[in-house]
Amino acid sequence: MYGLERLIMGKTFVLAEKPSVGKNIARVLGGCNKKNKGYHEGKDYIVSWAMGGHLIELASPERYDKKYATWQLETLPMIPEKFKLDIIARTRHQYNLIKQLLSRGDVTTIVIATDAGREGELVARWVLDYARNKKNQSNDCGFRL
């Protein structure tokens, strides 16, 4: 996606797992000279990151049912039909920023640039799902560091 095609499509949002990786990606992409708290931005890209990897976590057991507030043998095993997620309180500000950036009208494509493997993928998917993101997502960032 270069030239006219990129102009038509808008900006690409790149989500890295850690701040150091996000800043390196922004440097390699070039042109991401607008450095803001929590993200870097250029003409074609917005690069942001999860704080130390995680912004979302599995909900505590009592969020499913009050009977799980204390551990009791008769209530185990606890296997919910669908797992619930919560924003981690200490990184809520970064999650809110990412959600705001994702909702921008000029962001048309999302690149997941988290660590390779299941955990890195999960970090990104939980953020995107919790933010109710419906934009075009790609795991192939088209470049390699």
CATH number at residue 45: 3.40.50.140
State the CB neighbour count (10 A cutoff) for residue 131: 18
pLDDT range class, residue 138, cuts 50, 70, 90: low
CA end-to-end distance (rounded Å), the chain? 19
Domain count across the chain: 1
Sign, CA torsion 27/30/35/41? negative
- Per-residue pLDDT, averaged over 11-36, amounts to 93
pLDDT range class, residue 8, cuts 50, 70, 90: low
- Per-residue pLDDT, averaged over 38-57, amounts to 91
DSSP letter (8 states) at residue 17: S
- Whether pTM exceeds 0.75: yes
Residue 115's alpha-carbon distances to 21, 96, 128, 134, in angstroms, are 9, 21, 16, 22
Q: Domain of 26?
A: 4-53+89-138
**Domain-embedded: residue 68:** no
pLDDT value, residue 135:
66
Residue 83, CB-side half-sphere exposure with 13 Å CA sphere: 11
Tokens of 60: 């505590």
Sign, CA torsion 28/140/58/47? positive
**Domain-embedded: residue 17:** yes
What angle do the packed helices 92-102 and 118-130 form, to 10 degrees? 70
**Domain-embedded: residue 118:** yes
**Domain-embedded: residue 93:** yes
**Domain-embedded: residue 65:** no
